[in-house]
Each structure stands twice: as structure tokens, then as C-alpha cells.
A and B are shown apart, each in its own frame.
Chain A
Amino acid sequence: MQKIGSENYYDRAFKKRMIFLLFLIFLLVIVTIFSITLGVASITFGDTIKVLFGELFGIGSQDYSSFSRGIVMNLRLPRIALAIITGLALGSSGSIMQSILKNPLASPYTLGIASGSAFGAAAAIVLGDVIFKTIFTAYSSWVIILGAFSFGLLTILIINLIVSLKEGSSAMLILAGVALGYLFSAGVSFLRYVTDHEQLRELAIWLMGGFYQAEWRDIFILTPILILSLILLLKISWDVNALSAGEEVAQNLGIDIRKLRRIGTVTAAFLTSSVVAFTGIIGFVGLVAPHICRMIIGNDNRFLTISSGLAGALFLLGADTAARLIISPAELPVGIITSFFGAPFFIYMLIKKRRSYWS
């Protein structure tokens, strides 16, 4: 501690961030393994490992039962994968939205994207049956997904349009998002009010959110979307850093701010509405995961985006595992767990952390 300093400050900070990233990955692997072994049907740790190696890589002794194989491969693994993908998507989108809009309250939810998706899904559930009749029954889940996805994306496009018409600030973007969120929520309430019993149930389940309906199909669709979006978000992360010094400074540093904002918000919205379409509404992760990471590793978006994603994945996977186990054999909606444990923990972190990390 002789020479305080700046000399190696960057390298030290870099190392700390890398260690944090690796630590998150390590934890995620551990939680994943535990999550696979835990559940109503008891499968031993050894059997789980055997199934994983046997089915995924085709190695090891394949002396496990087809029951174990079915539980691990068809029920638990897709569900776990969906929870991880959703956490990665919501955490990283939330983080980039906060940074781009320079607002600690920004998240896929405050921007109205989730409400937009919810309205899309609700419209598909309620109107799909009326318009498409029998065809709808056969493809209902696809229609719901398409509805959620297109309305989520539509929301951010409308917001961007409003802002570009008025050359608005980031505060305006958030206000427009909040307003649209209310509009779509009213739409959902209206649909709930006018619809009949059967559809109402389906709608209520979708709005609750969760991973229990996870299928491998979902994973195959979402994985490429997630990877492409994350690459794009990482690519713009150094430019987003420059935004933290103020828009004028960023402009002087050679950044096209409007383009950056558009790329960032549309990518984040695309990613959010893609996962929301499959999982329903899962709140809180997109807001909290980035803040916890900001407290630990600071606000360099090159590390923050991916860390927030990993923290989100860890949080959601943990919550979903708890949701499966707490009142087993029945299960709780995951949203209850995320808020119930997440909110007090977040408040504790806010109080404990004295250093202000946003201003």
C-alpha cells in the first residue's frame, strides 16, 4: 500500500471485475446442478450427473432409468435453461436501459415494454379464439408468443418515435414509457373485464409468469436471440460509458447519441419482449440485478451488462428452484419469490451501501 494509486488502478479494477464475473459463472453452475437434482421426484446427484453426461455428451455409463432421463431432460433441464436465459436477458437489458437513459429506475417494466407484451398476449388469448376459431386452438401458444413479442417491440418503437419527433431527452423517453405502460395496462384490464371464464384463467396464468411450461423449443428460439443481442449490447458498451459524462461530452467524444440510444433501447426491448413472450411477466429482476452489480463492480458497462445478466440468471434460477420446493409437491409462482426475497434484500443493500453510486 505504499504507492496509492493510480498506477495500477485500471488493472486492479479490471481484475476485480473479471473475478466477479467468474464468481457469478461459478455460482450459476453450482446452483444449476443443485436445481437439477432437487424436486418432487428424488433423483440422486450421481444419477443426475450420469444422465447429463450420457444424454448431452454421450459418455459415461448409461445405467440410469428412463424415468430419471425423462425428469432431467424433459422437465427440469428446459425449465432451468429458460430461467437462466430469462435472467440473462432481463438483467442485461435492464442494465443497458438504466445506463443509456441515465436513470436508476429504468427497466423493461418502467419503460412499458412488459405492459406492451402483456397486452399483446392478452389480446391474442382473448381475441385469438374469436378471430381464428379452431386454427387458434392448434397454434394458440404461438399466437400468444407472437402477440406478446410484437406489442413489446411496438411499444419501444412508439416511444422512440415520440422522442425523435420532439428531439426529446432521456427523461422524456422514460415518461413516455410510463404513460404507454399505463395505457397497455388499462387495455389488459379491459380485456379481463370483458372476457369469459375460460380465457380469463389462461390470461391470469400467463400474467403471473413462470417457467413451468418450458420446452426445448423455447430454448432453441431464445438462445440465438440472446447471443446476438448480448454481442450487440457489449459492442456498444464503451460508447454507453461515455454517455455517463453527459450527452454533450459524449457528442464531443464523437458519439452519435441518438443512434446509440436507438440501438440500445431497441435491442433491449427486442430481447425483453422475446423472453416475456415465453415466460409471461416476471418483474423486479431487470431493475435489481443491475443495481446489485453496480454496487459491487461499479458502472463500467463493458462488465456491468454481462454481470447484470449473470446475476439476473442466478437470482431467477434460485427463485424458481425455491418456488418448486417450498410447498412441494405444489409450486408457487416464481414472481412471488422474486419480489418476496428480492425486495427486502435490495433495500438492505441500498441502506448498507453508503457510497452513492448514482447522482
Chain B
Amino acid sequence: MKMKADKIKFCYQDTAVFDELSLEIEKGKIISLVGPNGIGKSTLIKCLSNIYQADSGFVYLDGKNTLSIEAKELAKELGYVPQTQRNSFSISVYESILLGRKPYFNWKVRQEDKIIVQEILEKLNLQKLAEREVSNLSGGEMQKVAIARSLAQKPSIFLLDEPTSNLDLNHQLEVMNIITELAKEENAAVVMAIHDLNLAARFSDYIFLIAEKGKYISGKAEEVFTEENMEATYGVKVEIVESSKGMLIMPIELSS
């Protein structure tokens, strides 16, 4: 499965968030969307997840315009993981993951669905939490449940919005390992919006930097995360250091 966004434009109340944005995503690869606050990373994730409709331009799945694909079928290809999990009326972890099976059945839960949920619980080591209420979980656990739900959709493309924000170091690493597994073991395509440039540099195959409206820089981490690009985009002087796990981007001071 290959996803391609072709010259998409999205406006929020007459102001274009992004324009003429093109992006290609291949299976087995992780792409990180980075850029300053409010530049439209989350909006882009939502446009790709069939939550928002682009004002112009199209998104293609294997060459097929997503507008021509039924919502239910699209839900079997695109798994969206929101930044925060907001349950109005609390449900159990098990039921929350089961919701990911929504595109596959209308009312009656089949044996097959229960088996899939069970496998996911084991895979993400969530068995012990299965009966807990989602609203009583910690941030890291909630994030895992949200990923688990998208896994239940059995999608070929995962779209994650800030999967590591609000997580401690331990959970950041755990979540990034899960995401890497999605790409490498399940051969899925992964697109994530992320603020942490060091995690992005270490775990993604490609970086897509939204520098300013209409200016996008893409490529490998070393090509995108240069001192010049960072200063131009974030207005911050940075120092780039080599570590055993790749590059580290250290903010030094605000550029004058």
C-alpha cells in the first residue's frame, strides 16, 4: 500500500493552513512530520486520516482517489491515533480496543474479532489492564490503548498525532519501539506528527519538515536537521551533536 498526497490545501476559516503540499508514504517506512507549533502537523495527519477533507488536491491510496473509496473501506486502511484520548463515558480497555473492529461488523461481535483483540492485548502487554476503565489509566497506558485500537483496524497505514507528548522517558521509548515494530514487522506505513526532534531523527526513515506555509523540506534526518534549517524554521540556534544512536539536536539560544 502506498499513500500519496497530491498538492493538497487545507483552509481553516479562509486562512490556508498549508497549500500545494505533496507527500508520499511507502509501506515499511516511518515518516516524521516536524515543524513549529500551529504550522499544521496535526491538521495534515487528520487530512490523511479521512477526518478532514482537503479543500483542494487529493489523497491517493495505491493510485485510487480516497474520495472514491467508501468510508468503511478506508477505515480498514487508515488507522488514526489521536494525541489525547478523550472518553466521554468511560469504557474498559478491552471495549476501547474492540472499537477498532468497527469497520468490520455492525452489531454482533464475532469470534474472529475477539481473537484479534486478544492478540493485540498480548502483543502490547495490556492483558492485565483489559478490564480497567480507560479514564483511570496513566498517560502512557492510554497512548498504548489508542495504538491498540488502531491496530485492531488492521490498517496498512498508521497516522499518529504526537504519540510521545506527555510521556515519560520510559513510555516514550516503549511507544517508539511499538511504532518501529508496526513498520518493520507488520510492514505498515507510519506517519507521525512529532515535536521531539531527537526521537524523530532516531526512529524515522524520512523527515518532513513544515518550515513555513508553502515551504517543505524532506529527506533523511541528516539532510533536514541542519543548523541553518533549524534556525530558519524555529528561530533557534542549535548545535548538532553525534551520539551512539545518531544525531542529537541541542537548542542553544533564540536567534536574534
Which A residues have a C-beta under 8 Å from some C-beta of B?
A: 4-7, 9-11, 13, 98-99, 102-104, 235, 237-239, 241-246, 248-249, 251-256, 294, 298-300, 302, 355-359
Known contacts A7-B118, A355-B133, A357-B133; is A245 also within 8 Å of B96 by CB? yes
13 interchain pairs, CB-CB under 8 A? A4-B128, A6-B127, A238-B105, A241-B99, A242-B102, A244-B99, A246-B86, A248-B82, A253-B75, A254-B72, A298-B91, A298-B92, A359-B135
Q: Which residues of B (47-104) have their CB < 8 Å from a CB of A?
A: 49-51, 70-75, 78-80, 82, 85-92, 94-96, 98-100, 102-103
- Name the distance in Å between B93's Cβ and chain A's nearest Cβ: 8
Q: Compute how far the CA of A283 lies from the CA of B103 in the bound complex, rounded to whole angstroms.
A: 38
A249 in contact with B89 (CB, 8 Å): no
| B149 interfacial contact with A, CB 8 Å | yes
Q: CB-CB < 8 A to A99: which residues of B?
A: 88-89
Q: CB-CB < 8 A to A7: which residues of B?
A: 118
| B121 interfacial contact with A, CB 8 Å | yes
B87 in contact with A6 (CB, 8 Å): no
A294 in contact with B99 (CB, 8 Å): no
Q: CB-CB < 8 A to A355: which residues of B?
A: 133, 136
Q: CB-CB < 8 A to A11: which residues of B?
A: 114
Contact bitstring B100-126, A, C-beta under 8 A = 1, else 0: 101101110100001001100100000
Partner of A102, one of B49, B88, B103: B88
| B46 interfacial contact with A, CB 8 Å | yes
A238 in contact with B106 (CB, 8 Å): yes
Kindly name the residue among A98, A104, A252, A359 whose own CB sees the greatest number of chain B CB atoms within 10 A: A252
- Name the distance in Å between A354's Cβ and chain B's nearest Cβ: 11
Known contacts A242-B99, A254-B71; is A10 also within 8 Å of B109 by CB? yes
- Name the distance in Å between A206's Cβ and chain B's nearest Cβ: 34
Q: Which residues of B (200-236) have their CB < 8 Å from a CB of A?
A: none
Which B residues have a C-beta under 8 Å from some C-beta of A?
A: 46, 49-51, 70-75, 78-80, 82, 85-92, 94-96, 98-100, 102-103, 105-107, 109, 114, 117-118, 121, 127-128, 130-131, 133, 135-136, 149, 153
Partner of A252, one of B75, B95, B130, B131: B75
Q: CB-CB < 8 A to B73: which residues of A?
A: 254
- Give the residue name and chain of the B residue nearest to A248 (CB): B51
A6 in contact with B130 (CB, 8 Å): yes
- Name the distance in Å between A235's Cβ and chain B's nearest Cβ: 8
A10 in contact with B89 (CB, 8 Å): no
B90 in contact with A299 (CB, 8 Å): yes
Q: Compute how far the CA of A102 lies from the CA of B86 in the bound complex, rounded to whole angstroms.
A: 10
B103 in contact with A253 (CB, 8 Å): yes
Known contacts A98-B89, A253-B102, A253-B103; is A6 also within 8 Å of B153 by CB? no
- Name the distance in Å between A204's Cβ and chain B's nearest Cβ: 37
B131 in contact with A9 (CB, 8 Å): yes
Q: Compute how far the CA of A99 lies from the CA of B87 in the bound complex, rounded to whole angstroms.
A: 11
Known contacts A252-B78, A356-B135; is A244 also within 8 Å of B107 by CB? no
- Name the distance in Å between A285's Cβ and chain B's nearest Cβ: 19
Q: Compute how far the CA of A10 lies from the CA of B95 in the bound complex, rounded to whole angstroms.
A: 8
Q: CB-CB < 8 A to A6: which residues of B?
A: 94, 117-118, 121, 127, 130-131
A102 in contact with B89 (CB, 8 Å): yes
B89 in contact with A294 (CB, 8 Å): yes
Q: CB-CB < 8 A to A358: which residues of B?
A: 88-90
In the complex, besides A11-B114, A298-B92, A355-B133, 13 extra interface pairs with C-beta distance below 8 angstroms are A5-B127, A5-B130, A104-B89, A235-B107, A238-B107, A244-B87, A244-B91, A245-B85, A252-B79, A254-B74, A256-B71, A294-B89, A359-B89
- Give the residue name and chain of the A residue nearest to B75 (CB): A254
- Give the residue name and chain of the B residue nearest to A239 (CB): B102
Partner of B89, one of A5, A9, A252, A299: A299
B100 in contact with A253 (CB, 8 Å): yes
A359 in contact with B71 (CB, 8 Å): no
Q: CB-CB < 8 A to A104: which residues of B?
A: 89
- Give the residue name and chain of the A residue nearest to B91 (CB): A299
- Give the residue name and chain of the B residue nearest to A11 (CB): B114
Q: Compute how far the CA of A235 lies from the CA of B106 in the bound complex, rounded to whole angstroms.
A: 8
- Name the distance in Å between A172's Cβ and chain B's nearest Cβ: 15
B106 in contact with A359 (CB, 8 Å): no
- Give the residue name and chain of the B residue nearest to A237 (CB): B107
Q: CB-CB < 8 A to A239: which residues of B?
A: 102
Partner of A357, one of B75, B78, B89, B106: B89
Known contacts A244-B91, A253-B75; is A302 also within 8 Å of B127 by CB? no
Q: CB-CB < 8 A to B133: which residues of A?
A: 355-357
B71 in contact with A245 (CB, 8 Å): no
B89 in contact with A255 (CB, 8 Å): no
10 A-B pairs with least C-beta separation: A102-B88, A6-B130, A254-B75, A252-B80, A254-B71, A299-B89, A359-B135, A254-B72, A253-B102, A251-B51
Q: Compute how far the CA of A241 lies from the CA of B107 in the bound complex, rounded to whole angstroms.
A: 11
Q: Compute how far the CA of A246 lies from the CA of B161 in the bound complex, rounded to whole angstroms.
A: 14
Known contacts A9-B94, A245-B96, A294-B89; is A253 also within 8 Å of B118 by CB? no
A245 in contact with B99 (CB, 8 Å): yes
